[in-house]
Amino acid sequence: MHRIAVLASGRGSNLAALIAACSDGRIAARVVGVFSDKPASGAIALANESGVAAWAQKPSGFASREAFDAAMFDAVEAVQPDLIVCAGYMRIIGHAAIARFPQRMINIHPSLLPRHPGLNTHARALEAGDAEHGASVHIVIPELDAGPVLAQARVTVQAGDTADALAARVLAFEHPLLMATVAAIAHGDLRLDTATPQWQGKPLSAPLQLAGAQLLEASP
C-alpha cells in the first residue's frame, strides 16, 4: 500500500479528500504525514483530528529558505513516503529538497499547464481570452510549475465569467482530478519511476484527461 506525505498551507480541502478516498478504498494508499509552513492552518488541524502525523513550523524561525526546507524534508523522509503530494502548498521548494525525492513529488495547479504557471491563474486566463481553463497535476521539478504534466481537468470559460466564478468551477474538478491521479499512481497504472512517466506500460505522450468523477483516459 502506497504511503503518501502531503504538503499543504491552507484549509486542507484536498487533504480531506485524500484522507477520505484512502479510508473508503478508492485509493490503495494511506496518508502517513502532513507537513506545513502554517502551524495554524486548517490542514494541520485536520491532520490532528484524523490521527495523521503532522509537522508544521514557521519559515521565519529558520536562518534561510534552505534551512527550512532541510528541516521539513528531513521530517518528510522520516515517514518513508512513496509519493509526496503538494496540495495547496504555497512555498517554492528549493532544488536540494526536490533532488532528495526525484520523480516522487506531484503538485496540483489551477491552470492548464503550460499556460499560466504561478499565481492568479483564473484572472490571467480571463485576461488572455482563453476558451478553456482548468487544473493540472504535474511532477515537481526545480522550475516553477514546469514539470511533466500527468493529468488535467478542463472547464469551458463562459461569457461574463469573473475570476471567482471561474475559480469555483475549476475547484469542483480539482479534488476528483487529484484523487484519480493518486489512485492511478497507487494502482500502478501511472508510473513516475521511469525516464518519462508511463500510462499502462507505455510512455505518456500527452496529459491524461479526467473523465467522469474519477477515471482517467488518455488524450485523443
58-82 residue pLDDT tens:
999 999 999 999 999 999 999 999 9
Same domain, 124 and 208: yes
Same domain, 211 and 171: yes
Residue appearing with cell numbers 465569467: 161
Same domain, 19 and 97: yes
Same domain, 65 and 41: yes
pLDDT in tens, 93-119: 999 999 999 999 999 999 999 999 999
Same domain, 120 and 61: no
In whole angstroms, give the CA distance from residue 56 to residue 10. 12
Nine-digit cell string for 160: 461574463
Q: CATH number for the domain including 31?
A: 3.40.50.170
pLDDT score at 216? 64
Query: pLDDT class for 220, splitting at 50, 70, 90?
Result: low
In whole angstroms, give the CA distance from residue 201 to residue 144. 28
For strands 83-86 and 2-7, give the pairing. parallel
Cross-strand bridge partners of residue 211? 215
Q: Which domain holds residue 16?
A: 1-101
Q: What percentage of the chain carries pLDDT values higher than 90? A: 92
**Residues classed as catalytic:** 109
Query: pLDDT class for 219, splitting at 50, 70, 90?
Result: low
Residue 94 lies in a domain: yes
Same domain, 5 and 48: yes
Same domain, 114 and 87: no
Residue 182 lies in a domain: yes
Same domain, 127 and 94: no
pLDDT score at 218? 62
Sheet (strand 29-36) strand order? 54-56, 29-36, 2-7, 83-86, 105-109, 132-139, 149-156, 208-211, 215-217
Residue 203 lies in a domain: yes
In whole angstroms, give the CA distance from residue 11 to residue 179. 17
Split into its structural domains, the chain has a count of: 2
Question: Pseudo-torsion of CA 92, 95, 99, 103, nearest 10°?
Answer: 50
Query: Structure pTM?
Result: 0.94
Same domain, 85 and 127: no
Residue appearing with cell numbers 534552505: 66
